[in-house]
Structure formats: structure tokens, C-alpha cells
Structure 1
Amino acid sequence: MRMLGAWWRERWLGWLDYPLREGAVWADRYRVEELLGMGSYGQAYRCTDLRSGAVVLMKRGKPSKRSLAREMLERESEILKGLHHPQIPQWLDYAAHGREMGLVMELVEGYSLEHAVMGSEKIYSQQEALLVIRQLLHPLRHMHEAGYVHRDVRIPNVLVSGDKLVIIDVGLACRIGDESAYEKEEWGGGFADSWGAVKQRMRVPEPTSDLYGLGHLFLFLMYAGYMPHEGQEERGWEEELKLDPAVQDFVQGLLENKWQSAEACEQELEQTLKSLEG
């Protein structure tokens, strides 16, 4: 009987979270055009704002998550509303539809850096990867100076939009020093997988966590062009990638909390880039 109850519960929750149909009008204003994706507590849709005619992104809390989805979405809305940077999607609205809430923001057209790395044959040079880091330091510095830390700086959360990189998904962001943010990790599945230690370090509510995330993002870009020799034993990235000494020192600095602010990191990065040019 317990197994049967669990079976029905799973299907009931699946029914609750069934995506909105295309053409549906949400909150008497946002017409659903396309489901873009689903996360742990929300669903993202491409919508048309019937008042302005603009195409927007609407993030709807999963009904099955009830108060947790509402709490997480409200926190994300408050954070996004306080950020104003061309490399962060602009907050537009936080609307109610019955018992549901939806966060509406600018829809950034582009593709993820993950797609650029995994879905193409592009190989990044050391300098190109460092220039990616330099671009991303700008919105992160803005977040930190506004009092927030992103806590999820990874290639799926970076969009390539023309010649601009945009950092998205502030769902895990929190105020700097807010230890209570750890209490929300249970909905994300904890840290049980092989990336557990990395994720746990990235979740610390301090600016150094975002710099740490940039260090791993750099390594992802560099490993896109790495081909080990047949039968070669696995080694540390310091040995496998053969980076310029100045670049290796910079990446180690990102991973070892050498800088306490994005501003200090930017200054060091400029020196590293100059050393490559010389």
C-alpha cells in the first residue's frame, strides 16, 4: 500500500506541475509562447506581454513546491529587482495568478556558454578564456557591490548574446554573509554527486565563492580543447593543461581565495593579460 501511495503521489505532483499550454494567458497579461525549461522549483516560459507587446521571460513557481517555491521566487525577484547591469537580465514584474506567483524579466536572446563549449568544436586559447573571465567579473562585481553573491557561476548560467556575456539565474543568490541560505539547499538535492565538494564551496555566501566558480569555469573552457594521450594516467589540471605560469598562478588564486573582491581580482587579471601580450 505504501508503494501504491507513493506512486499516486508522484503522479499527482507531476500533474500539478504540468507545463502551461501555449497560448494560455497568465495573470491576464502574459501569453505563453514556449516552455524554455524546468528547474528544481520553477518553470521558465517565453511569453508575450499583451500590454507592451514585448517578448519576456516568465518564471513560474512549481505548484507542487507550494510555499517553498513562493519563498524562493520572491527572494529571486527581490534580488533581481535590486540589480541594474547590462550583463544581468532586467527585472520587469512580480505578478500573481490565483495562488501562483511569477517573476517576469527581460528575455536575453542567445545560447549558453555550455552549448558553446560542449555543442561546438570551438577551442579556447588561454587569452580567450581569460577574456571570458574578465567579462563576467563586471556583472559579478556589480552584484557584490549591491550586497549579493550569485553562488552558481557555471557555464549553463552564462549566455552568449552577440558579443556580450550575460550571467543569468539568480535563484541561488543571497545576501553576502547570509548563512540561512544553506537551509534552502534541500530542494536542490544536496551535494551527494561527484561535484559535491565544488558545489558546497560555491554555495558559501561570500564573494570569493563566485571567484571560485570563475576558476572552474576557466578550467572547463580550457579542457574543451584537451585531448589526453591514449593510456595516460589522470593528473591534476596544473600538469595536464600546461598553462603559462602567470595564468596558472591566476587560476590558482581564483580557486584558493587569493582575492576577497572582484575588483582586486580584476586588477590582477589585467596584469596577467599584459604578461601574455609581452
Structure 2
Amino acid sequence: MLRPIRRMYQFIVDKPIKAAEILNHRYQVIDMIGTGSYGIVYLCHDLQNKEYKVVKQLRPSKRKNRNEIKLFEDEISIMKRLKHKQMPLFYGEFSERGHYFYAMSYMDGVNLEDEIFLNKKVFNEEESLLFLAKIIKLVDYLHNNDMYHLDLRIPNIIIKENEPYLIDFGLARQVKSTQFRETNSEELKLQDYYDLGDILLYLLYTTYPLKTKKALPWTEELSLRQETEAILKKLLGITEPYSTIEQILHDLYKAVRAFENSD
């Protein structure tokens, strides 16, 4: 009974900020562009430098819960550490009338989900492997800085000029203590690897002709080279999983070279 009541409370309380309202005497709301379990995201016009910015708000229904505020603060801590041109740049945090916000750069482009399902973008097997390699390099940056995205999904990848950009770090974790790093980072790393496998499946399925309504395993539906199938099975934990990014990239490039040699 509590869950329906909670949903009703969120529906009533989590009203998005109206267009044209100004936040922090600087960010004029243009539109709401996304919602998640913990946040509401707005495209804004920065009145100081005339640029587009994105402002994320902790859901009003969460703002009186200390644990929820802590999670939002943890997200801000990660955003402050991101120094990569293909990830959002942090511009500052602020509170207003008891609500919590932070501002970041606007990643201009189309998210991968829309590219696949609305724009009907197609990736053949070789293109899928090469595009995944680009995403993996972004994940490598995070892991090298003891950060784990933990929500690598096609809606959280923006494509601009055929380059991927990572967004939405709401579920991301950073490892601070040496003890925690040794005991838990492996699990976090494997979660990101699993998500990479899921993304690769989405890319590969863009060329799959729907012939039957009967759902079959991807191993039966997709006609893949042995190298690609082996990569997927390791990413998804079906066989012995990868232990490093270097191993994944090695196998990816080996699979791509096999395509080139067969031409």
C-alpha cells in the first residue's frame, strides 16, 4: 500500500519548474528535458554568458530526506571531478527556497536511443565494435579515476559528429578508501562491463530484420562472427568476464582486424 501512496505523493509534489522562471538569479528555464528517480533536469539559458546550460534539481519529494540529499551531494562530488570534453562540465551548486540544484554544461547532440529508434540509425557489426571502443575509452577514464558510471544505457549516450558523450551520473559511485577499493571496485567495474555488453547488443540489433514474434536468445537471432560473440559473452558474464579495459579493447580491435583481413 505504501508504494501507490508514495507515487501519488510524488505526482502531487514533483511539479516541474515552469518555463521562463529564473533560478539562482542566472538560469532561465527553457524546458524540462528529463526526469529520473532522484532528479528533474532542465535546459536553461545562462543569462550571464548567453549560453545553454543544464540544471538538475533534486526531486522536491526527496528534499526532506537526509539520505536522498546525501545521494545528490555524492553526485555533485562526482560531477566536480569530471574533466573530460565528452562529459558534462560542472558549473556550481545552489539551493533556492529549500530546493537543491546544480548546473552543468549542455551536451548538444542526439541521444543514442533516439538515433536508433526514431532516426533508424544502423550499425553493422564492424561499426558496432568500433563505436563501442569509443564508449569504452570514456569508461576507462572514469575507472582510472576510481569512478564508476553504473547506468551505462543508450539514453545516457549523446552522439555528436559520430562521437559518444556520456551523461547522467545520478547512479555513479566513486571509490575513496583503499579498503573499499579492494573489496568493492571489482563488482562496480563488472557492472559497467555488463552495461557495455548490453549497449553492444543494442547496436548489433539495429541490423536485425524482425522475422518472427517469438523471442529467441541473441545467440540464435544474431549471426555474429566468433570474435564478436566471444566479446559479448565475456562482457555479459556468460563466460569468464574481463578483468581490465585493456583486455576488452584488445579483443575488440582483434575482431575489427578480422573484418579488414576478410575484405
Q: Pick the TM interval, shorter chain.
A: 0.7 to 0.9
Q: Does 1:220 align with 2:202?
A: yes
Which residue does 1:49 correspond to in 2?
46
**Separation (CA, whole Å) in 1 of partners of 2:215 and 2:10:** 43
**Separation (CA, whole Å) in 2 of partners of 1:155 and 1:53:** 30
Specify the SS of the correspondent of 1:48: strand
Which residue does 1:166 correspond to in 2?
165
Instruction: Write out per-residue CA displacement over residues 100-123 of structure 1, whole angstroms, 9 at most, x where no aligned residue.
Output: 111211101111101111113332
Which amino acid counterpart does residue 258 of structure 2 have in structure 1?
Answer: S
Shift in Å at residue 244 of structure 1? 0.8
Which residue does 1:269 correspond to in 2?
252
Change over 3 Å in CA distance of 1:23–1:262 after alignment to 2: same
Structure 1 contact 93–105 (Cα < 8 Å) conserved:
yes
Instruction: Write out per-residue CA displacement over residues 201-227 of structure 1, whole angstroms, 9 at most, x where no aligned residue.
Output: xxx852121111111111112222212
Change over 3 Å in CA distance of 1:176–1:209 after alignment to 2: farther
Which residue does 1:184 correspond to in 2?
none
Shift in Å at residue 12 of structure 1? 5.5
Shift in Å at residue 272 of structure 1? 1.6
Which residue does 2:122 correspond to in 1?
123
Which residue does 2:216 correspond to in 1?
235
Which residue does 1:182 correspond to in 2?
none
Shift in Å at residue 176 of structure 1? 4.4
Count of residues paired in the alignment? 250
Structure 1 contact 177–206 (Cα < 8 Å) conserved:
no
Structure 1, gaps ≥5 residues long: 179-203
Which residue does 1:187 correspond to in 2?
none
Among all aligned residue pairs of Structure 1 and Structure 2, give the percentage whose two residues are the same amino acid. 27
Which amino acid counterpart does residue 173 of structure 1 have in structure 2?
Answer: A
**Separation (CA, whole Å) in 2 of partners of 1:146 and 1:158:** 20
Shift in Å at residue 165 of structure 1? 0.7
Which amino acid counterpart does residue 228 of structure 2 have in structure 1?
Answer: V
Change over 3 Å in CA distance of 1:235–1:176 after alignment to 2: farther
Structure 2, gaps ≥5 residues long: 178-185
219-228 or 247-256, which moves further after superposition?
219-228
Specify the SS of the correspondent of 2:43: strand
Which residue does 2:191 correspond to in 1?
209
Specify the SS of the correspondent of 1:206: helix
Shift in Å at residue 90 of structure 1? 1.1
Structure 1 contact 42–69 (Cα < 8 Å) conserved:
no
**Separation (CA, whole Å) in 1 of partners of 2:210 and 2:47:** 53
1:175-214 matches, within 5 Å, as: 175-176=174-175, 205-214=187-196
Shift in Å at residue 74 of structure 1? 1.2
Shift in Å at residue 10 of structure 1? 6.1
Q: Does 1:34 align with 2:66?
A: no
Which amino acid counterpart does residue 193 of structure 2 have in structure 1?
Answer: L
Structure 1 contact 59–102 (Cα < 8 Å) conserved:
yes
Q: TM-score when scaled to structure 2?
A: 0.86
1:78-89 matches, within 5 Å, as: 78-89=77-88
1:107-122 matches, within 5 Å, as: 107-122=106-121
Which of these residues, 235, 241, 247, is aligned with residue 258 of structure 1? 241
**Separation (CA, whole Å) in 2 of partners of 1:247 and 1:270:** 10
Change over 3 Å in CA distance of 1:11–1:242 after alignment to 2: closer
144-153 or 235-244, which moves further after superposition?
235-244
Specify the SS of the correspondent of 2:93: strand
